[in-house]
Amino acid sequence: MAGYHDFKEKFYGRRKGPTLSQRQRRLLRDILPSVSFQAESIPRGALSPETLFDFQVKDVWLEIGFGKGEHLSFQAGQNSDIGFIGCEPFINGVAGLVTKIHESGCKNIRIYPDDARHVLSALKPASIGRLFLLHPDPWPKARHAKRRFVSENNLDVLSRIMKPGAELRIGTDHPTYMAWTMKEMQKRRDFIWTAECADDWRNPPPDWPETRYAAKAKASSTPCVYLTFLKTERDSHKP
Q: Which residues contact 6 (CB under 8 A, 6 or more apart)?
A: none
Q: If binding is defined by CB under 6 A, does position 52 make contact with ligand SAM? A: no
On whether the CB atoms of residues 11 and 123 are closer than 8 A, the answer is no
Q: Is 54 a catalytic residue?
A: no
* 115 φ/ψ sector (left φ>0, alpha ψ -120 to 50, else beta): beta
Query: Residue 208 Cβ, how far from ligand SAM at the closest point, in Å?
Result: 11
- Catalytic residue (one of 6, 54, 81, 137): 137
13 binds ligand SAM (CB under 6 A): yes
Find all residues with CB under 8 Å of 1, minimum gap 6, and list them. 44
Residues 6 or more apart whose CB falls under 8 angstroms from that of 61 comprise 75, 79, 82, 83, 84, 85, 128, 129, 130, 131, 132
Q: Residue 73 interacts with ligand SAM (CB under 6 A)?
A: no
Establish if 102 lies at the interface with ligand SAM (CB under 6 A).
no
Rounded Cα gap, residues 82 and 165, in angstroms: 16
Does 130 sit near ligand SAM (CB under 6 A)? no
Q: Does 62 bind ligand SAM (CB under 6 A)?
A: no
| Position 89 contacts ligand SAM (CB under 6 A) | yes
Interface with ligand SAM, residue 120, by CB under 6 A: no
Q: Which of 35, 111, 116, 185 binds ligand SAM (CB under 6 A)?
A: 116
- Which window, 48-56, 83-91, 95-103, 194-202, contacts ligand SAM (CB under 6 A)? 83-91
**d(Cα 51, Cα 89) in Å, to the nearest integer?**
22
Q: What CA–CA distance (Å, rounded) separates 3 from 208?
A: 27
Told to check if 113 binds ligand SAM by CB under 6 A, we report no
Q: Nearest-CB residue to ligand SAM?
A: 65
Binding site for ligand SAM (CB under 6 A): 11, 13, 64-67, 87-90, 93, 115-117, 134-137, 149, 211-213
The set of catalytic residues is 137
